[in-house]
Amino acid sequence: MPVEEIKKIQSEKLVKQVKHAYEDVPYYRDLMDKKGVKPEDIHGIEDLHKLPFLEKSDLREGYPYAMLGKPLEDCVRIQSTSGTTGKRVIAYYTQHDIDLWEDCCARALVAAGADREDVVQVSYGYGLFTGGPGLNGGSHKVGCLTLPMSSGNTERQLQFMTDLKATVICCTPSYAAYLGESLKEMGYTPDTIPLKAGIFGAEAWTEENRRELEKNLGIKAYDIYGLTEISGPGVSFECEEQGGMHINEDHFLAEIINPETGEPLPEGEKGELVFTCLDKEAFPVIRYRTRDICVLSRKPCSCGRTFIRMAKPMGRSDDMLIIRGVNVFPSQIEAVLIKEGCSLNYQIKISRVNNSDTFDVYVELPPEQFDDSVKNLSAKEKSLQAALRSMLGIGPAVHLVPPKTIARSEGKAVRIIDERKLYD
């Protein structure tokens, strides 16, 4: 579709969506009132900048029903992601919203070459995380035989993959690398692995990671991007050109803003990605700040799709970490340490060993606890680990260290050491 036509559709949908949010979502109406903007002021996408931003903190503040745009009896599903202080962000879906989301995932699968003859192994987590349910639904829509494996249990994954000859795998790039190693150990070579394509996302991965995955698994590796607040995976997807991800622009309107000032930036400039959902009913998120740093491009694509493309995310404008596919905020860790009466001299270290993230938290003991017996210390480490696991959904290795052993910095404390090279 010519870009001008896409923009016309976006404008029509935006006018309707703003009216819906204003009339049906008291939280967003308040934000618009505070900014002095009314639905009548929005005539098309050229007026988008007049609307207030929404942030993760807004969704947290309004927990659990912030941005709910339909009566609960019209909603059929929730998905969820962790918030910054333990309160999760809950996204609601009507059946229409699920259909729309699954269509987006179906487009991603088709762009990766899938059709009804394919066997699609979905090895993203199922449950509150959007990865499994989204690609599962997309795969059904394409008519592929779908293997709803979820993540983990590598032995069973490999057995189903090889016995049922899975041709497409959907999982995080780090899990794909791990599966590749295990296949090699089992004696498989890239040309005896049945896969032809992989759809990898939910965390950052580099061009070098892509080359390795393609070589080791004998596949073409496609990037897929999305976030729970906007629906889940399939907000954008790569085509055979592998040169950035096409944004499903008929449903999601993208902008790039200066993260410091909030000013919209022209196409081609690097800044924070902001999305407006154009036709979601139950969770009509408008101008949502993703905190992902990115660049958009309208350069024509050899695949013929005219949807704008986003580069691989180049970092974040907040301190969110993605560890083993789970979103983690340092503030969540700090909240647990405070609750458990620990010192706030701590350090978080993340690295990658054999394609798997390692996650260590070092906490200095106050001098009065330093004399504790080894038995007491290891019990305390275990209980801290359990408290962190319950807050974050993943348990780091906890190390209690003697007072004054964590290096002091002259400026801001260095709390996070991330040794993974995630961004190109």
The footprint of ligand DLL (CB under 6 A) covers 81, 124, 130-131, 201-204, 223-228, 232-233, 290, 292, 312-313, 322, 327
Q: Which is nearer to ligand DLL, 310 or 342 (CB)?
A: 310
> At closest approach, how far in Å is the CB of 205 from ligand DLL?
7
Distance CA 405, CA 171 (A): 39
Q: Which is nearer to ligand DLL, 145 or 311 (CB)?
A: 311
Write phi, then psi, for 31 (nearest 5 degrees): -60, -40
Write phi, then psi, for 11 (nearest 5 degrees): -65, -45
> At closest approach, how far in Å is the CB of 245 from ligand DLL?
7
> At closest approach, how far in Å is the CB of 170 from ligand DLL?
8
Residue 346's identity, in one-letter code, is: Y
> At closest approach, how far in Å is the CB of 242 from ligand DLL?
13
> At closest approach, how far in Å is the CB of 293 from ligand DLL?
9
Cα angle for residues 161, 244, 197 (degrees, 5° grid): 15
> At closest approach, how far in Å is the CB of 255 from ligand DLL?
15
Distance CA 358, CA 298 (A): 38
Residue 23's identity, in one-letter code, is: E
Q: Which is nearer to ligand DLL, 224 or 253 (CB)?
A: 224
Q: Which residue's entry shows tokens 């061009």? A: 207
> At closest approach, how far in Å is the CB of 84 from ligand DLL?
13
> At closest approach, how far in Å is the CB of 125 from ligand DLL?
9
Q: Which is nearer to ligand DLL, 162 or 317 (CB)?
A: 317
DSSP symbol at 252: E
> At closest approach, how far in Å is the CB of 397 from ligand DLL?
23
Q: Which is nearer to ligand DLL, 6 or 320 (CB)?
A: 320
Q: Which is nearer to ligand DLL, 202 or 398 (CB)?
A: 202
Residue 35 and residue 47 in contact, taking contact as beta carbons nearer than 8 Å = no
DSSP symbol at 279: S
Cis ω for the linkage preceding 64 (within 30 of 0)? yes
CA-closest candidate to residue 134, choices 231, 221, 223, 229: 231
Distance CA 336, CA 350 (A): 18
Q: Which residue's entry shows tokens 């499994």? A: 132
DSSP bridge pairs for 356: 353
DSSP symbol at 264: B
Q: Which is nearer to ligand DLL, 18 or 132 (CB)?
A: 132
Say whether 242 sits in a helix, a strand or coil: coil
Write phi, then psi, for 4 (nearest 5 degrees): -60, -35
Distance CA 223, CA 234 (A): 10
Cβ neighbour number for residue 293 with a 10 Å cutoff:
18
Q: Which is nearer to ligand DLL, 81 or 94 (CB)?
A: 81
Q: Which is nearer to ligand DLL, 273 or 398 (CB)?
A: 273
Q: Which residue is nearest to ligand DLL (CB)?
A: 201
Distance CA 160, CA 154 (A): 10
Q: Which is nearer to ligand DLL, 203 or 249 (CB)?
A: 203
Distance CA 282, CA 357 (A): 35
Burial class (CB in 10 A: 0-12, 13-18, 19+), 316: middle
> At closest approach, how far in Å is the CB of 313 from ligand DLL?
4
